[in-house]
């Protein structure tokens, strides 16, 4: 949780920096034309036919079928310029005709339903923001702030033809490498959480720089690691660079953050021996009082568990929970470590100790029980063979996320399956795969779940 807090702080700093991109609104509300007797009625109103209320995955499927990019208008209910653009720019006949030919137009409210997840995915922090993304959901570029009709058309055409400052800089970096320009481009992409484009540039910058001595290089690298961690997409190359550089950081507290990310990646690749060595070296360098020491040990516990080393996993999780308490970690961090410990006790057949850890976590949690922690509580209850309790926590996770969190839906699927509701489990797992189509576990399980659902229906 300390690790997650740090990651979220990095993301927040990036989103705040994004506000500098916002264009001042030059729109003003136009008064309605007066009605006069005998004057012919105004022509029928026109407006961009935004797709609203449909899953984003469905919008992307349509974009792929029609061979067009998506133009996603991200708004908030309180946003004045959003409403003015809607009545002027998006009701301009030329803009409407252009949109029908060039894009698949869609709109989301950043503070409701799936819009919350999508705005977080692209780190949208200013409204209105119009995102242009390809049929795979990868951002092309964006327009931020209010635009009149003619300015919007020029800006949108520039995006789709690759003539925005960002896209032109990106093209130059690809064709003729310049480290300073590459750093500026990488920072702009990191601000948007654009992992697919920032990763190769950042890795080249860090690799060619040779060390992390320059603050701007170090910050970029930390942002890359944070984005990979948030997206659960740690790359082996990033891990190799962390392994190269962290010994040079000495007792810098940030070494713990990078080490936790490295150990997590090593665990996924099955390299437990190296994960153990990195953990030992990190704790020796930064000390157990480091705010990230518990995260490093928890990452080691996960690596040991994935390798089937139950006793070693339990020992790591016990140390992580103890350090979280000793170091006065935030309540959410202590809850997460207790859940880890409860799962490890349950796996070892020590049910009484597992239940004690679970109860301690829930007691500590209180108002800190967010979506992730509620989903984790559900998994712990399942490990203790308590499907009713698991279902309660999973439903809470889904409720807190308004149904838009893949892990919450996966937890609900597991709890429903344990409770004997295979049809409901199939639906929840299908939703998890829709929300996070990159997750191989959800994708591979969803077809099987669908088959079971169909068989039961017949």
Are 314 and 417 part of one and the same domain?
Answer: no
Cis ω on the peptide bond leading into residue 128 (within 30° of 0)? yes
Are 157 and 172 part of one and the same domain?
Answer: no
- What confidence score (pLDDT) does residue 436 get? 81
- What confidence score (pLDDT) does residue 408 get? 94
- What confidence score (pLDDT) does residue 210 get? 77
**C-alpha to C-alpha distance for 221 and 10, rounded to whole angstroms:** 11
Are 427 and 331 part of one and the same domain?
Answer: no
Q: Does some domain include residue 8?
A: no
Q: What are phi and psi of 75, to 5 degrees?
A: -130, 175
Q: Does some domain include residue 78?
A: yes
For 215, counting Cβ atoms within 10 Å of its Cβ (0-12 exposed, 13-18 middle, 19+ buried), the class is exposed
Q: What is the pTM of this model?
A: 0.80
Residues in Cβ contact with 272 at an 8 Å cutoff, skipping those fewer than 6 apart = 266, 303, 304, 307, 309
Q: Does some domain include residue 7?
A: no
- The total domain count for the chain is 4
Q: Tokens 């702080």: give the residue.
A: 9
- What confidence score (pLDDT) does residue 212 get? 79
Are 120 and 203 part of one and the same domain?
Answer: no
Q: Kindly list the distances between the CA atom of residue 451 and the CA atoms of 314, 418, 422, 425, in Å, as whole numbers in the listed order.
A: 37, 18, 11, 12
Cβ atoms of 66 and 151 within 8 Å: the answer is no
CATH code assigned at 81: 3.40.30.10
Q: Examine the fold and report which residue of 161, 176, 210 is the final residue of a domain before the chain moves on.
A: 161
Work out the angle between the directed axes of helices 215-230 and 2-18 (0-180°, nearest 10).
Answer: 110
- Among 363, 348, 291, 282, residue whose Cα is nearest residue 318: 348
For 83, counting Cβ atoms within 10 Å of its Cβ (0-12 exposed, 13-18 middle, 19+ buried), the class is middle
Per DSSP, the chain holds a count of helices (H) and strands (E) of 22, 4
Are 273 and 364 part of one and the same domain?
Answer: yes
**C-alpha to C-alpha distance for 418 and 86, rounded to whole angstroms:** 48
- Helix, strand or coil for residue 395? helix
Are 195 and 302 part of one and the same domain?
Answer: no
Are 133 and 212 part of one and the same domain?
Answer: no
Q: Examine the fold and report which residue of 177, 205, 232 is the final residue of a domain before the chain moves on.
A: 232
Q: Does some domain include residue 270?
A: yes
Which token pair is 278?
A: 């990195």
**C-alpha to C-alpha distance for 255 and 417, rounded to whole angstroms:** 41
Q: Does some domain include residue 9?
A: no
**C-alpha to C-alpha distance for 407 and 411, rounded to whole angstroms:** 6
Are 342 and 454 part of one and the same domain?
Answer: no
Are 395 and 295 part of one and the same domain?
Answer: no
Query: What are 107's strand-pairing partners?
Result: 73
- Helix, strand or coil for residue 79? coil
Q: Examine the fold and report which residue of 161, 184, 212 is the final residue of a domain before the chain moves on.
A: 161
Q: Does some domain include residue 287?
A: yes
pLDDT by residue for the chain (458 residues), tens only, comes to: 444 444 444 444 444 443 333 333 333 333 333 344 444 444 446 899 999 998 898 999 999 999 999 999 999 999 999 999 999 999 999 999 999 999 999 999 999 888 988 999 999 989 999 999 999 999 999 999 999 999 999 999 999 999 999 999 999 999 999 999 999 999 999 999 999 999 999 999 999 887 778 899 999 999 999 999 988 888 999 999 999 999 989 999 889 999 999 999 999 999 999 999 999 999 999 999 999 999 999 999 999 999 999 999 999 999 999 999 999 999 999 999 999 999 999 999 999 999 999 999 999 887 668 899 999 999 999 999 999 999 999 999 999 988 888 999 999 999 999 999 999 999 999 999 888 877 777 766 655 544 554 555 44
- What confidence score (pLDDT) does residue 448 get? 52
- What confidence score (pLDDT) does residue 417 get? 96
Cβ atoms of 192 and 140 within 8 Å: the answer is no
Residues in Cβ contact with 71 at an 8 Å cutoff, skipping those fewer than 6 apart = 99, 102, 103, 104, 105, 106, 130, 131, 132, 156
Domain containing residue 398: 373-458
**C-alpha to C-alpha distance for 167 and 174, rounded to whole angstroms:** 11
Are 347 and 238 part of one and the same domain?
Answer: yes
Are 278 and 411 part of one and the same domain?
Answer: no
Q: Does some domain include residue 345?
A: yes
- What confidence score (pLDDT) does residue 130 get? 98
Q: Does some domain include residue 1?
A: no
Are 274 and 364 part of one and the same domain?
Answer: yes
């Amino acid at each position: 949780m300390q690790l997650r807090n740090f990651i979220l702080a990095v993301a927040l700093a990036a989103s705040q920096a994004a506000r500098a991109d916002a264009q001042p609104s030059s729109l003003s509300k136009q008064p309605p034309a007066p009605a006069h007797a005998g004057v012919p009625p105004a022509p029928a109103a026109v407006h961009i036919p935004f797709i609203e209320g449909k899953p984003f995955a469905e919008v992307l499927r349509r974009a792929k079928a029609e061979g067009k990019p998506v133009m996603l208008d991200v708004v908030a209910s309180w946003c004045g310029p959003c409403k003015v653009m809607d009545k002027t720019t998006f009701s301009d006949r030329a803009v409407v005709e252009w949109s029908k030919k060039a894009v698949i137009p869609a709109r989301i409210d950043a503070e409701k339903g799936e819009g919350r997840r999508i705005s977080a995915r692209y780190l949208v922090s200013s409204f209105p923001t119009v995102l242009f993304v390809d049929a795979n959901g990868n951002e092309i570029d964006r327009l931020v702030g209010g635009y009149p009709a003619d300015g919007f058309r020029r800006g949108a055409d520039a995006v789709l033809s690759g003539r925005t400052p960002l896209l032109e800089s990106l093209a130059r970096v690809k064709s003729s490498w310049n480290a300073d320009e590459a750093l500026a481009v990488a920072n702009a992409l990191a601000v948007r959480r654009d992992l697919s484009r920032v990763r190769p540039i950042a890795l080249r910058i860090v690799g060619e720089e040779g060390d992390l001595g320059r603050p701007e290089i170090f910050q970029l690298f930390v942002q890359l690691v944070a984005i990979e961690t948030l997206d659960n997409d740690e790359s082996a190359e990033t891990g190799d660079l962390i392994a190269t550089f962290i010994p040079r950081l000495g007792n810098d507290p940030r070494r713990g953050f990078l080490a936790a990310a490295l150990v997590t990646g090593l665990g996924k690749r099955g390299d437990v021996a190296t994960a153990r060595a990195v953990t030992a070296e990190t704790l020796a360098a930064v000390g157990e009082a480091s705010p990230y020491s518990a995260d490093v040990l928890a990452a080691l516990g996960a690596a040991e568990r994935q390798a089937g080393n139950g006793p070693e996993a339990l020992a790591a999780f016990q140390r992580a929970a103890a350090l979280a308490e000793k170091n006065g970690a935030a309540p959410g961090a202590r809850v997460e470590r207790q859940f880890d410990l409860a799962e490890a006790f349950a796996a070892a057949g020590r049910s009484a100790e597992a239940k004690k850890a679970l109860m301690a976590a829930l007691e500590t949690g209180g108002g800190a029980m967010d979506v992730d922690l509620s989903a984790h509580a559900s998994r712990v209850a399942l490990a203790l063979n308590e499907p009713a309790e698991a279902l309660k926590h999973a439903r809470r996770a889904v409720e807190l996320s308004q149904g838009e969190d893949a892990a919450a839906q996966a937890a609900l699927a597991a709890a429903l399956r344990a409770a004997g509701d295979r049809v409901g489990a199939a639906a929840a797992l299908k939703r998890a795969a829709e929300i996070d189509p990159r997750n191989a576990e959800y994708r591979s399980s969803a077809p099987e779940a669908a088959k079971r659902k169909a068989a039961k229906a017949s």
